């Protein structure tokens, strides 16, 4: 089984022997791959909805790992207790959903969290900083024209984050950092263009985004080509 670059970027950060839970597992590729590699002995695969959880069961059955997996139908971490997991992946969801899942499970400050927001990364980074989590590193993955960031997070004090750092992160020495900054710059530029074209432009939003754009441009210059 081959993982996509995004899922591989998460899998690479799961420590050997971890008590691993994949929240919002859907297809279940991540826990199944980790068990097949012998990186972990067992895994919990959870999902909010029965259909995706059934897909995970089918993947596990297909690859012969079902007897080493627990399948939990639950919202976020509500069906998982603190003594069952020390490494938790929450991937492929919006940043707000990830924050909501963590806010209902403060015990996750004792865990290694691998978070991969599809949207609203800036809201997630802000929320983490305001709620006793720190980002130790960020890894970037590219699939086609899309870039993704994977945050490796533990409990602790977050260093201050500038508005631009909230958007693009800063704890990354990934080789894809340059293209990631370009990708996010284009996203901020599109949002700015949308605001400026509005019948009644939101000047506060425009000036906040201009500050973000300036910060990303500076980071890009410092990084070089």
Ligand X SMILES: C[S@@+](CC[C@H](N)C(=O)[O-])C[C@H]1O[C@@H](n2cnc3c(N)ncnc32)[C@H](O)[C@@H]1O
Q: How far is the CB of 52 from ligand X (least distance, A)?
A: 3
The region of 57-65, 88-96, 172-180, 201-209 touching ligand X under the rule CB under 6 A is 88-96
Q: How far is the CB of 49 from ligand X (least distance, A)?
A: 4
In a 13 Å sphere around the CA of 187, the CA atoms on its Cβ side amount to: 19
Binding mask 66-85 for ligand X (x = CB under 6 A): ---------xx---------
Residue 85 or 188 with smaller CB distance to ligand X: 85
DSSP SS3 for 143: strand
Q: Which residue has the tokens 């059934």?
A: 54
Residue 128 or 181 with smaller CB distance to ligand X: 128
> Quick one: angle between helices 203-223 and 177-197, nearest 10?
160
Q: How far is the CB of 43 from ligand X (least distance, A)?
A: 13
Q: Is 92 in the site for ligand X (CB under 6 A)?
A: yes
Rg (CA), the chain: 18
Backbone angles phi, psi at 73, to 5 degrees: -95, 105
Residue 117 or 215 with smaller CB distance to ligand X: 117
Q: How far is the CB of 192 from ligand X (least distance, A)?
A: 28
Residue 43 or 185 with smaller CB distance to ligand X: 43
Residues 6+ apart with CB under 8 A from 204: none
From CA 120, how far away is CA 184, in angstroms rounded? 12
Binding mask 8-47 for ligand X (x = CB under 6 A): ---------------xxxx-------------------xx
Alpha helix segments (H runs only) across the chain = 5-11, 29-36, 50-63, 95-103, 121-130, 163-168, 177-197, 203-223
Taking residue 99's Cβ as centre, other Cβ atoms within 10 Å add up to 24
Site for ligand X in 97-136 (CB under 6 A): 97, 101
């Amino acid at each position: 089984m081959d993982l996509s670059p995004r899922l591989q970027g998460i899998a690479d950060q799961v420590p050997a022997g971890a008590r691993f839970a994949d929240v919002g597992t859907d297809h279940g590729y991540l826990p199944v791959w980790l068990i097949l590699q012998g990186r972990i002995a067992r895994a919990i695969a959870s999902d909010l909805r029965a259909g995706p959880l059934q897909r995970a069961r089918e993947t596990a059955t297909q690859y012969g790992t079902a007897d080493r997996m627990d399948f939990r139908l639950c919202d976020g971490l509500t069906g998982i207790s603190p003594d069952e997991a020390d490494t938790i992946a929450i991937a492929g969801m919006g940043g707000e959903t990830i924050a909501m899942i963590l806010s209902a499970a403060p015990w996750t400050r004792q865990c290694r969290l691998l978070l991969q927001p599809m949207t609203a990364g800036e809201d997630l980074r802000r929320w983490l900083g305001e709620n006793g989590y720190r980002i130790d590193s960020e890894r970037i993955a590219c699939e086609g024209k899309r870039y993704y960031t994977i945050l490796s997070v533990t409990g602790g004090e977050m260093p201050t984050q500038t508005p631009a750092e909230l958007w693009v992160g800063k704890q990354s020495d990934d080789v894809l950092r340059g293209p990631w900054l370009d990708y996010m710059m284009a996203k901020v530029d599109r949002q700015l263009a949308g605001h400026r074209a509005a019948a009644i432009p939101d000047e506060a939003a425009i000036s906040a985004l201009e500050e973000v754009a300036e910060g990303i441009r500076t980071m890009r210059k410092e990084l070089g080509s």
